[in-house]
Structure 1
Amino acid sequence: MQDFPIDPRLERDSVAIADLGLCQLRLSRDARWPWLLAIPQRANMTEIFELAPLDQTMLTFEVNEAAKALSTVTGADKINVAAIGNIVRQLHIHIVARFEGDANWPGPIWGHGTPEPRSDEDIEALARKITEAMARS
């Protein structure tokens, strides 16, 4: 992984699992949903439109690849992709696998309930499955 400053909240709440080129891909420590974060490794970016056009294209490609892998690995009913950033300003894209009947289905995941810690074993296993699925595509 490249040495790139990550907002302390993103670093605390997730684990780096891959360097995709433009983005660092991270897995959320919250076990309620299989949840990835794609963080473009560009300084002082808060909005997608601030990225150079080529970086915007790369971001779209990398997020789509991560979303496809997450869908394949989890069998999710729906993959949610969002760039919110109201609290954490550093540009980051959420990629969340959702299932009918999961915590707060069909509502948004933000601000719902209390995070449940994902075990180190689960982090390792899910990270391996996701990165392997991305390597195959």
Structure 2
Amino acid sequence: MLPGQKAGFELDPRLENESQPVMWLGLCELRLRDDRRWPWLILVPQRPGIEEMHDLTPLDQAVLTFETNMVSKALKEATGCTKINCAALGNVVRQLHVHVVARSEGDAGWPGPVWGYGERVPYRREDLHKLAETIRSRL
């Protein structure tokens, strides 16, 4: 169990299978999506049964906003990207999670959304770990 993880919390298997843990932030576990087409981080609030932001307590909502902003800034600095996209869709994976994606002109699918564009292209393990370490060092 992660530090601060609430009893009964379980990470959705789809999130677990397509991402790697980066670090514990406080409210959220920060994960790196294993898709080298875009630097893509995922924040997962460690609260059981939460599907929507409004399901969180007001304090947890504020912490989620703070952590999302902190991660967005770190990702932009680490990648030098043109734009940061943040979203919490949850149409397929209902568990509340926030995507933070670095986008740059000319990347795969630019300027369209990342969802539904092609097939995931996994990182080489050493590149995945290097990016995770770069993000950790900026947080």
TM class by shorter-chain length?
over 0.9
Normalization by structure 2: what TM-score? 0.94
CA deviation string 1:1-25 (max 9, x = no partner): 6064110000000001100000000
Q: State the alpha-carbon separation in 1 of the partners of residues 55 and 124 from structure 2.
A: 36
Q: In the TM superposition, what are the counterparts of 1:12-31 in structure 2 within 5 Å?
A: 12-31=17-36
The answer as to 2:41 corresponding to 1:51 is no
Shift of 1:123: 1.0
AA aligned opposite 1:117: P
For 1:107-137, what per-residue CA distance to the aligned partner results, in whole angstroms no more than 9, with x for missing partners? 0000000111111101111011101111xxx
TM-score by length of 1: 0.95
Task: Please report the RMSD computed on the Cα atoms of aligned residues, expressed in angstroms.
Answer: 0.9
1:90-129 aligned at under 5 Å gives the runs 90-129=95-134
For 2:128 and 2:71, locate their aligned partners in 1 and report how far apart those are by CA, in whole Å: 16
The correspondence for 1:9, drawn from 6, 10, 14, is 14
Which deviations, in whole Å up to 9, do the C-alpha atoms of 1:37-61 show, x marking residues without a partner? 0000000000001100000000000
Partner of 1:6, secondary structure, is: coil
- Number of the residue aligned with 1:80: 85
SS of the residue 2:100 aligns to? strand
Over 2 Å off, 4+ runs: none
- The answer on 1:89 being equivalent to 2:108 is no
> Which amino acid in the other structure matches residue 72 of structure 1?
E
Please state whether the residue corresponding to 2:77 is helix, strand or coil.
helix
Identity of aligned residues (%): 54
Q: Map of 1:62-81 to 2, 5 A cutoff?
A: 62-81=67-86
Alpha-carbon distance between aligned partners in 1 of 2:107 and 2:16, rounded to the nearest angstrom: 25
Distance 2:40 2:77 in 1: 14
Between the aligned partners of 1:83 and 1:33, the Cα distance in structure 2 is 17
Unaligned runs of 5+ in 1: none
Stretches of structure 2 lacking an aligned partner (at least 5 in a row): none
Q: Distance between the aligned counterparts of 1:96 and 1:27, measured in 2? A: 10
User: Counterparts of 2:19 and 2:124 in 1: how far apart (Å)?
Assistant: 12
Deviations 1:85-118 (A, max 9, x none): 0000000000000000001100000000011111
